[in-house]
Amino acid sequence: MILESGTKQSGGGRPRVMLTLNREYGAFVGIDLGETHIRFELFDLIMNLLHTVTSWLDDADVQPRDVVEEVVTGYRQLLTAVAFPEEKILGVGIGVPGVVQREGGISVFAPNWGWHDVQLLAQIQEYITPPIIMDNGAKALGLAEMWFGVRPGTQHFIALLLGTGVGTAIIADGSLQRGISNSAGEWGHMTLDLNGRVCRCGGQGCLETYVGAPGIIQTLREIAPDSAWLQNHSQLDIIDQILAAADDHHAIAMAILAQTTHYLGAGIANLINLYNPQTIVLGGWLGNRLGSFVLEQLPAYIEKYALPQPRANIKLRLSQLGDNGIAMGAACLILEDFLHGKRNSWRLSTGTVSLLSN
């Protein structure tokens, strides 16, 4: 994995041998398993993006077998596209929606799909040979932000994931907070309106029902039930049309974004009061699109709802990782294991990497 790249004369004694990473040694795969699409990305040893493949899901009725088939097909397409041999894949990280139980056998609770105790990892492992680590997508995004996003030295920050669903990664003292069952950060299911919209989780008035993509589309439906924008079947297309219209100061689009920003600002203020972070990072495919519209308006709502002391030095910023954030974070799950051996021991053997259980 390490190569000699030459020598350098020293001030005294023998010349120093210069070392470099062998970028041909292997690669990491990161998979962003979202509720509308799956993004597959291949990274080299220093996390340079080598290739991307995207597939789309029918969000009407997503079953585990459909997801397994899409993941396996997309993974193989990714490797085939760049003629990369599977034996040189050091591991596959997957960020998924919902709660992932990491201990005692990994299962997935994804209320937006109606999934309960789905052994998704075990099913995928039947078809993909390299080691796989699976975690919640928001937590994967937070890991990517820790490694490659926020300013070095930022020890307390929250990464917001806005998409079809809504979640957070909470980083305190430089560590990702998981809670006792790895479900910390389910911010989208914070109740903001006791008599509000019914959420797919079974609750009522959850933040997600106002600031997730389906919630924004519901706001459109309430404000303009006959809007031509509603003729689209794709969440992304409807959101893009709303944002394009807002660029032209279209009254309906502006009203939708104003309501969305109000709820988002109140939700962020609650996070600030609870966790006192240095920085709030807005990410996810929806967050990346909303960013330029909402960042200017959010401070007014934060001032209205957050306590003076925790909000005094808060910094709001848009993720610089773009739509790559979750897939990059998923790959970082493997990279972290590879470098630190937290869950497994890695061994060099005849030019390949073997995974050995402790």
Domains in the chain: boundaries: 27-140+324-357, 151-320
Give the pLDDT score at 309: 96
Q: Higher pLDDT residue, 42 or 105?
A: 42
Query: Given this chain, do its domains 27-140+324-357 and 151-320 carry the same CATH topology?
Result: yes
Name the CATH superfamily, with its identifier, for domain 151-320: ATPase, nucleotide binding domain (3.30.420.40)
- Please compute the mean of the pLDDT values over residues 96-117 and round it to a whole number: 80
Q: Output the DSSP codes for 28-41.
A: EEEEEE-SSEEEEE
* % of residues, the chain, pLDDT over 90: 70
> Residue 151: what pLDDT?
84
Confidence class for position 358, pLDDT limits 50, 70, 90: very low
Residue 11: per-residue pLDDT: 67
- What's the gap between Cα 121 and its chain centre? 18
How much is the average pLDDT of 100-115?
Answer: 77
> Which string of b and e fits 235-245 if b means at least 16 CB within 10 Å?
bbebbebbbeb
Q: Which CATH architecture has domain 27-140+324-357?
A: 2-Layer Sandwich (3.30)
For the ranges 40-54, 186-200, 274-288, 332-346, the lowest mean pLDDT is seen at 332-346
Dist. CA 336–CA 218, nearest whole Å: 40
The whole-chain average pLDDT of the chain stands at 89
| pLDDT tens-digit map of 1-50 | 777 767 777 666 677 777 777 777 899 999 999 988 999 999 998 899 99
352 has a pLDDT exceeding 50: no
Buried b (16+ CB within 10 A) or exposed e, 137-175: bbbbbbbbbbeebbeeebeebbbbbbbbbbbbbbbeeee
Query: Can you give the chain as a three-state secondary structure string?
Result: CEEEEEEECCCCCCCEEEEEECCCCCEEEEEEECCCEEEEEEECCCCCEEEEEEEECCCCCCCHHHHHHHHHHHHHHHHHHCCCCHHHEEEEEEEECCEECCCCCCCEEECCCCEEEECHHHHHHCCCCCCEEEEEHHHHHHHHHHHHHCCCCCCCEEEEEECCCEEEEEEECCEECCCCCCCCCCHHHCECCCCCCECCCCCECECHHHHCHHHHHHHHHHHCCCCHHHHCCCHHHHHHHHHHHHHCCCHHHHHHHHHHHHHHHHHHHHHHHHHCCCEEEEEHHHHHHHHHHHCCCHHHHHHHHCCHHHHCCCEEEECCCHHHHHHHHHHHHHHHHHHHCCCEEEEEECCEEEEEEC
**pLDDT greater than 60 at residue 342:** no
